[in-house]
Structure 1
Amino acid sequence: MPLKQTEVTSPNGHIRLAFALDGNNRMTYQVSVGDTVCITSSLLGFTAKDGVNLAEGFKVINTDFTTHDETWTQPWGENKNIRNHYNEMAVHLSDTTNTKLTLRFRIFDDGLGFRYEYEVPGADSILVTDELTAFNIAQDGTSWSIPANYDTYELLYRTQPVSRIDNANTPMTFKTGGLYASIHEAALTDFPEMTLKNTGNCNFK
């Protein structure tokens, strides 16, 4: 069965993100930089209590594409003027229970971000039991991170192969080939901070 796939690129065309539903209608994404795959096909979604489904069995209802370009001024920092320039892809999905899920991807010339937006019929909140969001790094390299710790960030950074990381607080920075990248969180609303767990080789969730 062919994958249902849609793509969005950075404004300069250098970074490409492909979203797809796999054979079980699970949500996945893949990231390429230039001609090189940086993040191989990786799962998206959550599991939750009380039968709430934010993981599989979805179908794409529609997909919106937009472009945004503005410059704003910050009161302090290394750069006074910040250009906020990205291409956005919003993938709107639904399942048989009419749960609505939007995956919003923003691709910049120097990176990308994504977030989940959901509407569950009859629920104003949900209890997430597991986050499936994965980062399957395509090849091994050098990493810089601190161990996952819920009490403090005052720990020494480790320099080690990506494949040797057992767990890490974000940001986790790594270099593979000539590419430097960092995985981090932002704009958390009623949600815990992120840590990364190695699920085998250079795969993390």
Structure 2
Amino acid sequence: MQRNHKQQILKPFLAASAALLVAGGAFAQASAPAAPAGKPGHHHHMGHGGGWMKAVDTDNDGAISKAEADAYFNKLDTNRDGKIDKSEMDAHRKAVMAERHARMQAAFDEKFKAADKNSDGALTKAEANAGMPRLAKRFDQLDANRDGKLTRDEIRAGMQKMHRDHHRRGPQGQGAPGSQPAPATPSAPGAPSTSGG
């Protein structure tokens, strides 16, 4: 009986997990650099379930066993009632997004530190070109105070502004007909940033 109950739950669980990964992919896309001009279909995302497979396939054999699926189910079922409800899915999604943000931030900080050859906490255009070439392409746009250097704060604020502007314009560079852009919101400390390199 309990086995049938778990099998009945497993299908909706897998579908919900796929939806969770789509949401995670949207977050990854939002924190990645904007698509290059002329390539409206270019997106950064996790692929068709690739992130979910990696999370569940703990022995990395390219398949998900019942034991692996059960272990993942149990990880999400935090109150141990044999079901995964919306609050458990939301909590898991937030934890995954926070972990991804922390990894992205650590990778960015590592690249920034390596590119900052004189260790002054800012990148000159030459340092950006040498160590973070994708970031260098947006150097003038991100250099808000026009001092010829980019600090982490300038990069973070500039990238957040670009993402807000990109989402207001929509995928083709224009807002939806009859829609108004969302109001600008102040940048939150520690918000997602680009890897830049």
Q: TM-score range by the shorter chain?
A: under 0.3
Structure 2 length-normalised TM = 0.24
Higher relative contact order (CA 8 A, sep 6+): 2
Task: Name the structure where strand makes up a greater proportion of residues.
Answer: 1
Bigger Rg, structure 1 or 2: 2
